[in-house]
Structure 1
Amino acid sequence: MKVLVVGTRNAKKRQEIIAALAGWPVEVLDLGSFPQAPEVIEDRDTFEGNAAKKATELAVALGHWVLGEDSGLVVPALNGAPGVWSARYAGHGQDDAANNAKLMREMAGKSDRRAHYVTVAAISNPAGEVVATVRGECHGAIVTEARGAGGFGYDPYFYLPEYHKTFGELSASVKQAISHRARALEKLKGLLPRITGLPASRQETASSSAP
């Protein structure tokens, strides 16, 4: 593997993924480099299913290795919602503000405020075969009012007790170190020897020389 394509058009998500992959001994591109890339319909009922679908369909279409990722917020008091529908919770075409407004309506009067973010990342080879799948989670709670302007999605409402802050209040560097996405991609880095075929010494050298 010499090139890895990150299969997302979400600018903020793309920034987080590319930052987390810094030091990989491969060139990391995103869909902005491939205007012909097809739009993948996320119609699976699990994060794993959506991540695999994005990775395989894009890998075959582009002829490259592709990282497909699906993330979302899981709230036990809402029977797991928004879940795989996190980006479309208020309906197709709606924005973060609409999704958060719906979350607040659904959580009104709920005493159980527990929640966790999930990221599942899958890597497919150009033949459309998934060679690795990893999952990362970050646990917290839903607050009643938005706090902070950082991040995206439900971040201003996702509170981490150990930091006494929401994701929206955390610095980008801290979030990138502890988030569900960071945890999933850190697991993926551990699979580098098998995925890339490069010896561990080259990977360590690449990581140590990364900015």
Structure 2
Amino acid sequence: MQIILATSNKGKVKEIRALFEKDEVVPFSEILGPMEIEENGGTFAENALIKARTIFEELGRDDVIVVSDDSGITVPALGGEPGIFSARYAGEGAGDRDNLEKLVAKLKEKGLAEAPAYYTAAIAIVAPGAEYVVHGWMHGKVITTPRGDGGFGYDPMFVPEGFDKTLGELKPEVKKELSHRSKALKLAQPIIEMLKKRAVR
């Protein structure tokens, strides 16, 4: 069975492909073309399911497993911002740099040079007659002096617990072990394997 990703974010596609090396992993845009999906859920899980269900229905096939991710960073000192709005924190159409700069500015407004923060990843899996959601988290802190050019999103300003480097500075293999998305995908793997076996019967 093909695994269809309900994302066209190149960073996410790369991370997910690395974890499912033996499978054919295809971003939905390669099949359906560009498509906007309104993410109007109130949680990461709800938004992940909205994306996965939409792509599954659009494909109209029973030989695929659709995997979607909704993830973001939460800073309790900012009342939980940006949370589910992480990807569009600086407004619709904003890029990674815009979002990062807004978060840095918000921290500085509060007089904070750093603050505890955590990443959440919700992975939704939709297949014929089946829906699942799993979660992964990564705890640490955000800083107002971004460092490193690795990763994407808020990575240059996030220092994971137990480290003194940002995700933007850490080697990809180290980040992969720590990543909230990796943790969620590891929980998703046995579910996907089970769905693949079920489809063969």
When normalised by structure 1's length, the TM-score is 0.85
1:102-161: CA deviation from partner (whole Å, max 9, x where unpaired): 1111112137700001100011125xx552210000001011201100001000000024
The percent identity for this pair of structures is 38
* 1:18-37 equivalent positions in 2, closer than 5 A: 18-23=17-22, 26-36=23-33
1:121 and 2:123 matched: yes
Question: 2:37 & 2:130 partners in 1: Cα distance?
Answer: 16
Question: 1:177 & 1:160 partners in 2: Cα distance?
Answer: 11
Contact 1:56–1:130 (Cα < 8 Å) also in 2: no
Which one of 57, 61, 80 corresponds to residue 54 of structure 2? 57
Contact 1:77–1:110 (Cα < 8 Å) also in 2: no
Question: 1:130 & 1:46 partners in 2: Cα distance?
Answer: 20
Shift of 1:36: 3.8
Structure 1 moving runs of 4+ over 3 Å:
35-38
Question: 1:15 & 1:138 partners in 2: Cα distance?
Answer: 19
Which one of 40, 44, 47 corresponds to residue 41 of structure 2? 44
1:39-64: CA deviation from partner (whole Å, max 9, x where unpaired): 21112111001000000010010134
Question: 1:134 & 1:30 partners in 2: Cα distance?
Answer: 20
Shift of 1:86: 0.3
The amino acid that maps onto 1:61 is E
Cα 1:194/1:151, change in 2 over 3 Å: same
- Structure 1's unaligned 5+ residue stretches are 199-211
Helix, strand or coil at the partner of 2:173 = helix
1:70-107: CA deviation from partner (whole Å, max 9, x where unpaired): 01001111111101100110101111121111111111
1:14 and 2:13 matched: yes
- Structure 2's unaligned 5+ residue stretches are none
Report how many aligned residue pairs link the two structures: 194
Alignment RMSD: 1.9
Helix, strand or coil at the partner of 2:81 = coil
Shift of 1:194: 2.9
Residue of structure 1 in register with 2:90 after alignment: 90
The amino acid that maps onto 1:17 is I
